[in-house]
Amino acid sequence: MNILWIKDGKKGHEKQVQALLEELSKTIDIKIYQEDYHISSLKRFFDIFHHSTSYVFRKYDSCKIIKSYNQNDIHLVIGAGSNIHTRLLLLKKFLKNIYNKDIIAISVLTPSLFKDEFNFICAPNHDEIKLSNIKNTIFFEGSLAKVSIQEPDDSIGLIGLGGINNHFIFNEDDLIKQIEYILSLYPNKDWYLFSSRRTSDLMIDKIKTLTNSFSNLIVAHENFDEIIKHASIKFITQDSMNMVYESLSTKGQTFVFNMKYKNENKITKQIKKLIENKQIGYIENIAMSDGLKKIKIQPQNPHYEVFAEVEKLSFQLAGKLKTLK
């Protein structure tokens, strides 16, 4: 099966699709072709307009697709993210005209438009209400991540930071205090700290200042996937849903930082559920009688099982794809 993967340039989206395709390749013989499609909001508007008016492709796009994929007989198009969902449906139409056969279109994550035109939608279960009337939806928990059962290294810890977001208050000074507490509590570990594109320059500067006081703090820029597999303990900001589930998909303990909600929504509810079920540990701030706060770490259930959502999803999707052959 030849698969065309449309990539939107957002790491969180692309890692989920990659994890799914790698898992599918274990049971289905697939060959993957890729197209980078990083667009502006204006170009996205024209994609939606062209799809709505049955205008398939401009001449440039048509020539590009014919040159790149016509000889490879594409069977399936897939991608994640609102910027490429309409692109997938345009490709589904266009490639059908080339091959004179139906092309399978799979949306990873919930599309905002044209939901009923996809063959399959793979969506997080917190979006279930949005897809209640849509057939061929396969749900998974949280986000998709590669599964690792590699035994962790007790000398390695990981800190994962997000940044400004719509769900949690990203209080930089409060987070710095929590990081200082972690580094002091586990002085014998090498702590690899990873930031994200949402982490502010000011927060990065504060982290760099911390390295002057803590020689075991390493500001890392590469090898996240390897470090998270090796880390025996991981602390993630609550806004970083993908990182939380990447951590839960590996061995070692997972904790989230103490953060206040901006408002209650599907993301905050999902993190709250993980905490309440003790699927993740968390840092708790306890108010003292003198008005100060005491930091305490509440543990994760020691008998938790490594998350394997991508394996479950792949199994279901592979079964459905085989019925379409």
Is the pLDDT at 288 greater than 80? The verdict is no
Same domain, 294 and 159: yes
Arithmetic mean of pLDDT, 256-282:
94
The separation between the first and the last C-alpha atoms of the chain, rounded to the nearest angstrom, is: 10
pLDDT given at position 304: 87
Q: Which residues contact 68 (CB under 8 A, 6 or more apart)?
A: 33, 35
Which CATH number fits the domain that encloses residue 227? 3.40.50
How far apart (Å, rounded) are the C-alpha atoms in residues 180 and 297? Answer: 13
How far apart (Å, rounded) are the C-alpha atoms in residues 297 and 294? Answer: 10
Which CATH number fits the domain that encloses residue 31? 3.40.50.2000
Mean of the per-residue pLDDT values of the chain:
89
How far apart (Å, rounded) are the C-alpha atoms in residues 4 and 34? Answer: 6
Token output for 41? 């909001």
What pTM was estimated for this model as a whole?
A: 0.88
Q: In degrees rounded to 5, what are phi and psi of residue 304?
A: -65, 155
What digits encode the pLDDT tens for the residues 157-180? Answer: 999 999 999 999 999 999 999 999
Same domain, 7 and 85: yes
- Identify whether 262 is part of a domain: yes
Same domain, 280 and 245: yes
How far apart (Å, rounded) are the C-alpha atoms in residues 147 and 307? Answer: 7
- Identify whether 304 is part of a domain: no
Where b means 16+ CB within 10 Å and e means fewer, 23-35 reads bbeeebebebeeb
What digits encode the pLDDT tens for the residues 45-78? Answer: 667 656 666 655 554 454 455 555 555 689 999 9
How many domains are there within the chain?
A: 2
What digits encode the pLDDT tens for the residues 85-99? Answer: 989 998 998 888 877
Same domain, 111 and 162: no
pLDDT given at position 61: 56
How far apart (Å, rounded) are the C-alpha atoms in residues 142 and 124? Answer: 6
Which strands make up the sheet holding 190-194, listed edge to edge? 217-219, 190-194, 153-160, 231-236, 253-256, 281-287, 293-298
Please give the residue range of the domain that contains residue 25.
2-144+310-324
Is the pLDDT at 270 greater than 50? The verdict is yes
